[in-house]
Amino acid sequence: MIRLDLAREPFWLDLGMGVRLHLRPCTTALVLAARQAVRDADMTDEPPDLVQGTRTATFLKAMGRLAILGWDGVGDADGNPVVPTPEGIDALLDLHPVADAFSLRYLGPVALLEQEKNV
C-alpha cells in the first residue's frame, strides 16, 4: 500500500555530523528537473569507469540545489556560518558522508515508493 504521508511543506532534516538542512519536499518536479540536469551534463571528458559515479553525483547536487532552502552547521574555512549558494551546496555534497546521508534520508523514502510500485 502506498501511504500518502510525504511532506508537503518545507521541513528540516538532520543529516548528522552537526548538519541540518531546510528542504523543499521531494516532489516529482524536483526529481525530473534533477534528472534533466544529468542528461544535460557534458561527461565526454570523464573516464569511462567514473561516468556512473559522476552521473550520481550530478543528480545529488542538482537535487540539493533545487531542494535546499537553508542549513545549520555549515561554515566557511574559518568556521563562520554561510548561507546556501549553488557553489556551497555542490561543495557540501562533494563530501561523501554528507552526500550519502542526503541520498539516504531525503531521497530514501521516494526510492522506497519506487521499489513498492515495481514489486
Instruction: List per-residue pLDDT tens for the chain, 119 residues long.
Output: 566 666 689 999 999 999 999 999 999 899 999 999 999 998 888 888 888 899 999 999 999 999 999 999 999 999 999 999 999 999 999 999 999 999 999 998 765 444 444 44
Give CB contacts under 8 A, 24+ apart, made by 6-13: 6/109, 6/110, 10/69, 13/105, 13/106
pTM: 0.84
The CA-CA-CA angle for residues 111, 104, 54, to 5°, reads 90
Determine the straight-line distance between the first and last CA of the chain, rounded to whole angstroms: 11
